[in-house]
Amino acid sequence: MKQLITILVLDDEDITREIVVRTLKNARYRVIQAKGGQEAIKLAKEHIGPIRLLVTDIVMWKENGRQVADAITPSRPTMKVLYMSAFVGHANDVLDKNASFIAKPFTPQALLEAVESVLAM
């Protein structure tokens, strides 16, 4: 029943976001996408129904993925978060050790395995 699972994807890099969105759609997830933090927050507020997972880049131009997740989760307490970044050291500085994380670059298969793992938690 993956088509019933909605995932919000946030990345300010168009190429990365498109790859993540395409990979998730090909795996039959319902996907909402945003290229900036404020857009992601707005989409999360407007979306009717559950958003099971936020897949977000950590390092972006305006806000970081942790700030966006912290802004969305009070209104969506059951939403899980998967962080992604090419800057692993920065990720360690921004995230707590229990946060779910995938390092860029990753394969579509690695992304799907990470998503399944976080959703199963």
Quick one: which H or E segment has residue 56? Answer: strand 53-57
Domain enclosing residue 25, as ranges: 2-120
Q: Supply the DSSP symbol for 102.
A: E
Find the CATH number of the domain harbouring 8: 3.40.50.2300
How far is residue 29's CA from residue 74's CA, in Å, rounded to a whole number?
23
- Is the pLDDT assigned to residue 105 strictly greater than 60? yes
Interval 27-85: pLDDT, tens = 999 999 999 999 999 999 999 999 999 999 998 878 888 899 999 999 999 999 999 98
Looking at the 3D structure of the chain, how many domains does it have? 1
Mean pLDDT, range 89-101, rounded to an integer: 75
**Cβ distance 55 to 8 under 8 Å?**
yes
